[in-house]
Chains A and B, each alone.
Chain A
């Protein structure tokens, strides 16, 4: 349903996309995972016909963004991290406008707008608040409703939860779930492995304009060494002892920069956590806190690319021109 063939995009001397190939079969959700400036937003802007590629092609529902941009726009809905809603219009007015611009007749536009406001739990504020007065989460939901109002077969979500609080994030995830239940093909960009894992059937990891890994969340995670266990000790001076104790059980732990916390990889999930705790108890170490979590994006990158430079860069610390919409 979405296909990228050797997509290249340069901004001046900088190569933002360096030959990206991607296939998203109909009815599936594909996650595009990568740090800021990796090329995610550039791909979205090419697919939504806002940027023209310098090489290769992008197809949506079989139509090329180069030769049939209007057909592409017709089969696409897009919702972005900037949640471009008109702040001076109410939620209802926003959706009615988008529906009309998709070419719907007036009455259908009004019906669809009402319907979606209900679906996205915005009925209460639909006519009473201007979109500018909405919370971040409500704004995203409104933007998302606009993306699907014309029932496009393909929906592109550009970092749908960036900048949202946990509640807003959960709400948005639920909204995406209801989309996929309708058989819509979704391309989702995100910086969070957890989000890609939660929503996507398959994931591509992108870095510096290239796809560096592809597969299900499970495969990627196992390639990244499974889950992570974080352990911190009540007494900081016990951290070294703890590390040695774990090593005796064949468990290799890394200490963080300040030496306060140990991190281990495990493929066994909760079982692995149990082993670690038992080993520490045996050695008589007071564990203050122990937790099992997904590897962070940085850890995935480190494991997949073996590239300290790329994997170690904190998300969001380096703003490239690409992460801002070109204006």
Chain B
């Protein structure tokens, strides 16, 4: 019963968010332009030094993982805006599910992420990236990417509910993304990092998602790249899925707890 209500309310809120997104498409510019910039900068500024065409093939999986992680900041900003405008107070005074508002947000933000994925894939095709696996594998990979986007979105939600002001949510919501995305195997092999960071990078969920995406699209690493070792590198898809489930299991209840206790000192 409570689950049904959460899903129903989540749907109402998601619909509201999507209408808002459609009416202020300017917000999508970041979601579209940023991955394009990353693809072009990494492919042509660093790509030459890192393996040329082969690096471009390697790059797309990394950009996908990094962009989807960055997209969690949209969740943080939009939710913080609703908090600041008093709309969340209105929702909290309604007999609706305590999960509904956040669930609606994380679900509707998947639309932004789906657009980002599409843009990156098209951009990749334009610079010479090709998926070489079958259609089934490609679709499964996209599903995993969406699961990952959904999972990190809950992190953004918790940041918004803790920060409460748009400015704080925006800066904190972006800050953590840089170490998480770059101390990883998203853009280079995890085993090419300084040894102190290698262990972190190997177990970083961003690495797992990037690697799983490369595997799923049938892309290989440039010849000069050290193949990373360790269990996550051997089972990237499984490990990435486990990471997503863990993220949701940890951050969703924390976000809902914060939501319940807003202003209830």
Contacts and interface: CB of A to CB of B under 8 A. Distances in A.
A58 to B, nearest CB: 13
Given A70-B95, A102-B94, A327-B164, A45 B263 contact: yes
Interface of A: prevailing SS: loop
Interface string B105-118: 00000000000000
A181 interface: no
Contacts, number: 82
B24, B86, B87: residue with the most chain A Cβ atoms closer than 10 Å: B86
A93 B263 contact: no
Nearest to A54: B265
Interface string B243-265: 00000000000000000001111
Interface string A59-100: 000000000001001101010101011111100010001101
Contacts of A118: none
B16 A86 contact: yes
A69 to B, nearest CB: 9
Given A86-B16, A93-B19, A101 B91 contact: yes
B84 A88 contact: no
A76 B20 contact: no
A103 B95 contact: yes
Interface residues of B, number: 31
Interface in B167-216: none
A52 to B, nearest CB: 5
B142 to A, nearest CB: 29
Nearest to B91: A101
A42 to B, nearest CB: 11
In the A-B complex, the 10 residue pairs with the closest CB atoms: A88-B20, A84-B90, A73-B95, A48-B93, A84-B86, A74-B95, A326-B263, A101-B96, A100-B12, A82-B86
9 contacts: A48-B93, A86-B20, A86-B87, A93-B16, A97-B12, A97-B13, A97-B15, A101-B9, A101-B95
Given A48-B93, A73-B95, A327-B164, 18 more contacts: A49-B93, A50-B262, A51-B265, A70-B95, A80-B89, A84-B85, A84-B86, A86-B16, A87-B85, A88-B19, A89-B16, A89-B20, A97-B12, A100-B9, A101-B91, A102-B96, A103-B95, A326-B263
